[in-house]
Amino acid sequence: MQLDPASGWCQGVRVCRSPNFNARPSGEISLLVIHNISLPPAQFATGKVQEFFQNRLDVTEHPYFAGIADLRVSAHFLIERDGTVTQFVSCLERAWHAGVSSFEGRETCNDFSVGIELEGTDDLPFEDAQYQALTTLTRQLRSTFTAITAQRICGHSDIAPGRKTDPGPAFDWARYRAALAKAALEQEEQR
């Protein structure tokens, strides 16, 4: 995968455009937020996340869907259990993933963040393929948006504590951060 800085779209990933976005007020991109999602909850590879982000979810298909029928949300990316990456919104636009949120005292994190959804739940381990895709995608994002430092990568629970719990205790932050550090070291050695 390769992120095009001019368009904010990744080449080499699936594209599934969401209408749920708008312009960033300042154009700043300085935060990466990791989430998890599955629709219905704890069911994978259903295609329902894609439908949800496109406002096409048939709310009669599952009782859970009635409770989210009126929500208009999106993320920039979804990483499925098999590592497939789908992009919904250009990184240059504001996706609607964080909701009411605050990072280091600054509110409305959607204004300056990129949101990545991992297909999963708070309490089920994520797959190796997801960690690999997440590491690759993060490297692409950080090489383009250099304000996203290691300290500016967080979970939804970090920016919306008490309201959100994802990516949850099953997400292995140490593994992810070690993979990023290793990738950065390898990249530095190649220079």
Angle at 137 between CA 135 and CA 141, to 5 degrees: 115
The helix/strand/coil state of 154 is strand
Q: Tell me the β-bridge partners of 103.
A: 106
Residue 130 contacts residue 167 (beta carbons within 8 Å):
no
**Helix (H) / strand (E) containing 49:** helix 48-53
Q: Tell me the β-bridge partners of 37.
A: 119
| DSSP percent split of the chain into helix, strand, coil, nearest 5 | 30, 20, 50
Residue 9 contacts residue 87 (beta carbons within 8 Å):
yes
Q: Of the listed 51, 80, 104, 117, which one is catalytic? A: 117
**Helix (H) / strand (E) containing 129:** helix 128-144
> Residue 47: left if φ>0, alpha if ψ -120 to 50, beta else—which one?
left
Active site residue 189: no
CA neighbor of 93 nearest in space, from 73, 108, 113:
113
Active site residue ranges: 117
